[in-house]
Structures are given as C-alpha cells and as structure tokens.
Chains A and B, each alone.
Chain A
Amino acid sequence: MAGVPDQRNNGSRAEDGLATDPNLPPPAVDEARLEAEDRKWTPAKIALWAAIALLGGVAWFMLAIVRGETVNAIWFVFASVCTYLIGYRFYSKVIERYITKPDDRRATPAEYKADGKDYVRTDRNVLFGHHFAAIAGAGPLVGPVIAAQMGYLPGTIWIIVGVVLAGAVQDYLVMFFSMRRGGRSLGQMAREELGVIGGTAALIATLLIMVIIVAILALVVVNALGESPWGVFSVGMTIPIALFMGVYLRYLRPGKVMEVSVIGFVLLMAAIIGGGAVAGTEWGAAFFHLDKVTIAWGLLIYGFVAAILPVWLLLAPRDYLSTFMKIGVIVMLALAIIVVRPEVSVPAFSEFASRENGPVLSGALFPFLFVTIACGALSGFHALISSGTTPKLVEKERQTRYIGYGGMLMESFVAIMALVAAISIDRGLYFAMNAPAALTGGTAEAAATWVNSLGLSGVNITPGLLRETAANVGEQSIVSRTGGAPTLAVGLAHIMHQFVGGTAMMGFWYHFAIMFEALFILTAVDAGTRVARFMLQDSIGNFVPKFKEASWRPGAWLCTAIMVAAWGAVLLMGVTDPLGGINTLFPLFGIANQLLAAIALAVVLAIVAKRGTFKYLWIVALPLAFAAVVTITASYQKIFSPVPAVGYFANNAAFSKALADGKTEFGTAKTVAAMEAVVRNTAIQGWLSVIFVVLSIIVIVTAVLATLKAFRDRAAGTATTDNEDPFVPSRVFAPAGLVPTTAERELAAEWEKVPADARLERAGH
C-alpha cells in the first residue's frame, strides 16, 4: 500500500490467498475487488456525490456568507450532514488505506477470545448503536450552548470540521488499535507504548481528569435543579424507579430488559407529569424547593451510596433507562429541527467573538471556544470507551471505520442539534439565563436591565418575557440558570411546543429535557466514580497489595470515599463560587477533556510510527498538534494571564490584594467570606491547571520520543516490536459498512450456504 515493508510479528499469517480454512469461503473480500469497487465511478455515483457536495456548499454559504436577519435551522442540518458524508466517504477511507490497514482475514478479539459474555461478535449496526449510546451523553448538549455566546458560526465550524479531522479520527484509531490488542484499555496501551514514565503520567492525568469531569457534570445537574421543585421531584423519582427495575430484573423476570425498560419509561413520564402537579401544590413547592448547596450535598451522598451498591440494583437499570431516553431524545431533537425548522436570529459572530470578557464564558475565541466545545468535536473521554468495551464486540476489522469514525460523526450531529435548539431562543433570554447571578442580579427586572445595557444588536428584553417564559416552563425563575442544560431545555420546549401540545405542554417538554440530561449525568457520575475508584485501588495496590482485591470492602469503600470527596470538593467549590461556578470551571472541564484527547492521540502517534507509517503520520499529528496547542495555550492563559477574568492566579492576586487592603467587598464578591472563597477557589483551579498541563506535556513528549525512536530504528533497519496480539485466521465474514457492497453481498451469500455447525471453530474448552 504505502510501499513500506511490514515488520510486524505476522509469522503465522496466511500470506497466500484469502482462505484461512480450505473448507470455508474466504473471510474477506478480495483486495483487488474491493479496490475496484472503490475506484469505479459510475455516472450515478458521481452525480450523487456532486449533489452532496453542492448541497453542503450551498448550506455553508447560507450559514457563513449570507447575512440576513435570520438563518433557517435546516441549513445547519444540511451543512453538517453533507460534510460528514464527505468526510466519512473520503477522509476516513484515506485513514483506512494508509494507517489502519484492516485485514478481514484476521480474527477479531470477539472471535478468537469469544466467551459468550464479554467477547461477543455483534452485528455491526447494533454495535454502532451500542457504541454511540456509550459515547453520547450530556457533554455535547452543554458545551455548544455555552459557546453560543460568540455567535453560531465559530462553534458550528469547530464542531463540524473538528469532528472530521480530529474527534472521529481519534475514536476510530483508538478503537482499531485497542481491537488489535485484544481490547486493551487506553491506560494499558500508554504503558506499553510509552514506557513507565509516560504510562504513569497518563494514568494520573486520566484519574484527575475523571474527577474534574464528574464534578463539572454534577455541577450542571445542580444548577438545573436548584430552586426547581418540579425538577427535584421528577429527577429524584428516577432513583426509586431504577431500584424497582433492578429488583424486577434480578428476582421477578430476569433478562426481560426491553419489558422493564418500557415499564421504566412509562414511570419516568409519569414522574415528569406528576412533578408538575406536585410542584403546583403548596407543600410540594415548599418540600422540593432546595437550594444548590443542599442539592450538591445530596448528590455527594447519592454518588457515594450509588458507587458502593451492587451494579444490578441501581447502575444497570438506570443505564437501560438512559439508553432508552437517549435514542428517544435524539430522534425527537432531529424531528423537531427538521419538521419545525426554527429561524435563528443569533448573529454568525456576536459582539463577544472578538472580546475576552463575555459574561457566559470569559477568554478569547482562541483558544477558549475550542476547549468549551469538547464533546461533539474532539472528546478525549471517548478514548476510554473506544478502548476496552467496543473492541471486544467488533465482528470484523473493517467495521471499525463505520463504528468508530461513523459513531463519532453521529455524536457531532447531536452537538449541532443542541446548538440549534439553544440558539433558536431569544438572544436576550440566552444572556439572562446564562450569565452568573452576580451580573444579572437574580431578579427578572435586574436581569432585563443588565441584558439591555450590554448593547447587543437587536436585543431588547422585558422582565415580562423572562417571567412569562419561566411560568410557561413551570419554573419560578429562569434568571441565571447557568450550565447550559436549562437553556437547551427552554430551546427544546420552544421548538417542541410548536410541534406537539402548544404552550400548555412547554412545562412538560422543559422538564423532559432536564430529566434526560440529569439521567445521563447521574449515570456518568456513578460509573465515573466506580471507574476512578478501581484505578485508585489499582494504584494503591502497587504499594499495599491488599487494595488490589476488588472484593475487599474496606479498601473499596475507602477509595470510593476518596474519589467522591475529590469531585465533591470541586462541586461544592463550584456551587458556592461567588464568580459563578460553571463560568470559571467549565474551561477546566474542556481543557481536561481535550488533554485526555491529546494523550490518546499521542499514544496512537507512537503506535502508528512503530508500524512504520511515516508518510501519513500527519493524519494523527495534525489533530494532536491542534489539541496540544489549544489546551496548552488555554492552560497557559488560565495560569499566567494578567487579566483577572481569564487567569486564575491574576484573579487570586487581585482578591488577595483587596483583602490585604482591608476591603470588605470586591468585584462580584460582596462579603469578606466570599472574597476568601474566591482566593481559595482560584488557587485550587490554578494549581489543577498546572498539574494537568505538566502531566500532559510529559505524555506528549514521551510519545514524540517513542515516535522518533521508531523512525531511527526504521532507518537503521532494526525491527521494531509491536504489542499486537498474534494473527489468528478468521472463520467468519460480515460486511464492513451500513450498506453491503455487491462483492460483500456475494460473499455473504456464499457464507449463508455453509452449514451453521461448520462455520465456527470448536474451541472445546
């Protein structure tokens, strides 16, 4: 292919011909036939791709060049889908041809390690849905909303271009290389490829990043539920519903997953509707009206209990519920946007695109837009899912392009739809909802005055509109409902009520949206705490072997408590922060997520170099360099910027000085205690940034060194060792993509003729 001799340990490889067993049809389509199919451009095919390119071009033109009063949401759909199709058809094939070079004659872990439990060959379309459900969560629903402050275009470009060149590339490559290694995790691959120093740095960074991500996701939930009796009731009800489902599946009807999911879904809808009724009563409004600090403590206790309860009781059933909701919500979002086609009045670039003192997110467009929108464009967290779980289920090597690259394109589309939903609401409303209470003043009057004083073109909001919207969605107030989730919920309610139910249904739609975000996040909090606990137990186990025993209760509880305390501290810090929590912490979330992406790409870079693919190394180096530059610049600014709104330490110094000068209020902090809180918080956030960036630089440097070593070895003719599992001939066949090609269909038909009992090797174990 690239003309580079392969020096992999492929001694047992069936080099001659395709058949790996003389009694079976070949497990792979003939390479020349594949090539011919790919290269053959019939007029119909040319016309189709020309039409896709043209439509995409027109859509981008409408979004980026035409400056009307409004832009229709449908152009976002066309611009993104056409770009994804082109990226998938052309760019991912380049990656397949020159970097991954899948070989369908090779058995995947699901075949050679098949155990019927963890390693199971799974139909590619089912696995696509499964993988997508595992990677998609609340992240793509939050980041784009916050970044909408800068206007719709910067976020749109980054989400669409970023996913094609960076996010999907990372997911695909990590999945492929993990599959070649029997489904090893990112941490294990880092250790193998980068050595002890790089591997350890990657492990510590992953653990810390996990803590930050869980904390900030929890903060999103707290912000959405604070002072919202309806939300507290309906989200709180998910716990008894999940417990009931768990008991049902364990004792009453084991294995009836679909049945219990439908029951759970019906109960969930009842909880949302019931929440409206409960919040309407006097006692309900009083009992479920909780302030943010109380909810944060509740979440902390919940997180600890949920992480030590057995999986079957809470995590597994809620996971079913969450998957069910996820698919429903995404279908609904797509329908809403395609059917209602709302007009978007947000400008392409807002007044804040060129400034660094925006009220929702502070910092300049570069680099902060690129860290604010992490999920949807490039999300390092996906590397943890793409290694480990999914690779153990893949049926054929060639399918990883569809599942890994394609799955991430799908997630990007969710981010675009979330962006559209959020920007379809009035701009004044957007700023009133997303600016911290310290700026808006917290009341409808003060917020309206403040928003109108910003001098944004076309923005003139009345306190009446703020109150009316709040009443429509069944809330007491929507001022300073930061964190992205409430804005998206208002946007979704705004679109959906035009589609089904009218104004009377807005409250339901709003709380439906809050519910699904809370459900995703609670699952992520629970699962994240568990994973982090195991990582910690494993690390401590290197010194105190007893900790390695997962079933040793005191160790498990102690490590769970440590992890919950870690994210809980960050969460409480965010909830009580006088500067407005999410606004100062969300950049840390994005930086953490992107640094994880940089770590994953660095590991992939070393692997690709060791395989001898130097000519096309740029495919990995490009997103790695971009992620590294963005996150290191963002970290640098967060650490060293002299502007207090941007730099943690500059803010720290400003507040310390004010305290030393004996001031009793400074900026948005109205008391000495608040000022001290700012000093404490900024110091912690600053040092966290320092630790993250140092660890990531260590990983990237070790990866670059490993790459250079591979290059020198190759030049010197020394054989490089790789860590792939040995070649095992495959005895199954399945098409690679969504639609099988002619050759694939013919081969599949041949396999159909083979008697079932002759197809699989009898392992006899």
Chain B
Amino acid sequence: MSSGIALVANGFRGFARYLGGVMGADAYAKYLEHHSAAGHQEAPLSEREFWRDRTDRQDSNPQGRCC
C-alpha cells in the first residue's frame, strides 16, 4: 500500500518536474550548471539578478506566440 503511494507520489513529482521544465522554471538551475561547467572566473548572477536579466532581455528580444 505504502509503496503504491510512493509510486504515485514519485509519478506526480516527475510530472511536476516535467511541467516545470516546459514552463522554464528550471532556467536558473540550468544557468548555474552552465556557469560552473564553462569554468567562469566571476561569480554567477544571484537568482534575483538572473530572473531580472532574463525578463529584461525579453523586452528587447520579443518572441512571437502562435495563433
């Protein structure tokens, strides 16, 4: 019984993670990953700075949405 609940919980978590990926919720984590992998010397942007920068860049690079 408890393993069944664990299975459902796991499935739900997986789905939430997937949905988060689709919506771009994991963008900061991916940025950090890239930052450390690329071996940058300077410190990475903080979470707040990163999201600020992300939406502000969209101001000057708009992406179309489909009809």
- Judge whether A229 is part of the interface by a CB distance below 8 angstroms: no
Task: Write out the residue numbers on chain B whose beta carbons fall within 8 Å of the beta carbon of A523.
Answer: 65
Complex formed: what's the CA distance from A210 to B64 in Å? 10
B28 CB to nearest chain A CB (Å): 5
- Judge whether B31 is part of the interface by a CB distance below 8 angstroms: yes
Main secondary structure of the interface of B (DSSP, over half): helix
A139 interface neighbour in B52, B57, B66, Cβ under 8 Å: B66
Complex formed: what's the CA distance from A118 to B24 in Å? 12
A117 interface neighbour in B57, B59, B62, B63, Cβ under 8 Å: B57
A142 CB to nearest chain B CB (Å): 9
Residue of A nearest to B34 (CB): A116
Task: Write out the residue numbers on chain A whose beta carbons fall within 8 Å of the beta carbon of B9.
Answer: none
A217→B67 contact, CB < 8 A: yes
Contact with B along A500-526 (1 / 0, CB 8 A): 000000000000000000001001100
Residue of A nearest to B29 (CB): A255
A114 interface neighbour in B22, B38, B60, Cβ under 8 Å: B38
Contact with A along B33-55 (1 / 0, CB 8 A): 11101111000000110111111
Complex formed: what's the CA distance from A137 to B66 in Å? 6
A700 CB to nearest chain B CB (Å): 22
B66→A763 contact, CB < 8 A: no
Task: Write out the residue numbers on chain B whose beta carbons fall within 8 Å of the beta carbon of A249.
Answer: 51
Q: A126-B21, A257-B25 are in contact. Are A250 and B52 (CB under 8 A)?
A: yes
- Judge whether A39 is part of the interface by a CB distance below 8 angstroms: no
- Judge whether A247 is part of the interface by a CB distance below 8 angstroms: no
Residue of A nearest to B53 (CB): A117
A527→B67 contact, CB < 8 A: no
- Judge whether A438 is part of the interface by a CB distance below 8 angstroms: no
Q: Which of B12-31 contact A (CB under 8 A)?
A: 16, 18-25, 27-28, 30-31
A261 interface neighbour in B23, B47, B66, Cβ under 8 Å: B23
Task: Write out the residue numbers on chain A whose beta carbons fall within 8 Å of the beta carbon of B52.
Answer: 250, 254, 312
Q: Which of A118-171 contact B (CB under 8 A)?
A: 118, 120, 122-123, 125-126, 129-130, 133-139
Task: Write out the residue numbers on chain A whose beta carbons fall within 8 Å of the beta carbon of B32.
Answer: 116
A274 CB to nearest chain B CB (Å): 25
Task: Write out the residue numbers on chain B whose beta carbons fall within 8 Å of the beta carbon of A593.
Answer: 67
B30→A129 contact, CB < 8 A: no
A524 interface neighbour in B25, B40, B66, Cβ under 8 Å: B66
- Judge whether A323 is part of the interface by a CB distance below 8 angstroms: yes
- Judge whether A717 is part of the interface by a CB distance below 8 angstroms: no
- Judge whether B2 is part of the interface by a CB distance below 8 angstroms: no
A117 CB to nearest chain B CB (Å): 6
Task: Write out the residue numbers on chain A whose beta carbons fall within 8 Å of the beta carbon of B58.
Answer: 311, 315-316
Task: Write out the residue numbers on chain A whose beta carbons fall within 8 Å of the beta carbon of B53.
Answer: 117
B63→A388 contact, CB < 8 A: yes
A125→B18 contact, CB < 8 A: yes
A360 CB to nearest chain B CB (Å): 19
B55→A311 contact, CB < 8 A: yes
Contact with B along A511-546 (1 / 0, CB 8 A): 000000000100110011011011000000000000
A648 CB to nearest chain B CB (Å): 22
B67 interface neighbour in A125, A137, A323, A388, Cβ under 8 Å: A137
Complex formed: what's the CA distance from A531 to B40 in Å? 33
Complex formed: what's the CA distance from A135 to B63 in Å? 12
- Judge whether A258 is part of the interface by a CB distance below 8 angstroms: yes
B66 interface neighbour in A126, A381, A530, Cβ under 8 Å: A381
B20→A257 contact, CB < 8 A: yes
Residue of A nearest to B38 (CB): A763
Complex formed: what's the CA distance from A115 to B50 in Å? 13
B42 CB to nearest chain A CB (Å): 11
Q: A312-B55, A760-B37, A763-B39 are in contact. Are A257 and B23 (CB under 8 A)?
A: yes
A123 interface neighbour in B21, B37, B39, Cβ under 8 Å: B21
Kindly name the residue among B31, B64, B65 whose own CB sees the greatest number of chain A CB atoms within 10 A.
B65
Complex formed: what's the CA distance from A118 to B54 in Å? 9
Task: Write out the residue numbers on chain A whose beta carbons fall within 8 Å of the beta carbon of B65.
Answer: 134, 137, 319, 322, 520, 523-524, 527-528
A194 CB to nearest chain B CB (Å): 21
A255 interface neighbour in B33, B50, B56, B60, Cβ under 8 Å: B50
Q: Can you list 22 A-B pairs with a CB-CB distance of less than 8 A?
A: A114-B34, A116-B31, A117-B27, A120-B34, A122-B21, A129-B18, A130-B21, A136-B66, A250-B51, A254-B51, A255-B48, A310-B55, A310-B56, A311-B58, A324-B23, A327-B19, A381-B67, A389-B63, A528-B64, A550-B59, A762-B37, A765-B40
Binding site for B on A (CB under 8 A): 114-118, 120, 122-123, 125-126, 129-130, 133-139, 210, 213, 217, 249-250, 254-258, 261, 310-312, 315-316, 319-320, 322-324, 327, 375, 379, 381-382, 384-385, 388-389, 520, 523-524, 527-528, 530-531, 533-534, 550-551, 593, 757, 760, 762-765
Query: Which 9 A-B residue pairs are closest in the complex by CB-CB distance?
Result: A116-B34, A126-B21, A257-B25, A312-B55, A129-B22, A530-B62, A139-B67, A116-B31, A550-B60
Known: A115-B34, A258-B25, A527-B64. 10 other contacts (CB 8 A): A116-B31, A116-B35, A117-B27, A120-B27, A324-B19, A375-B67, A381-B67, A762-B39, A763-B38, A765-B40
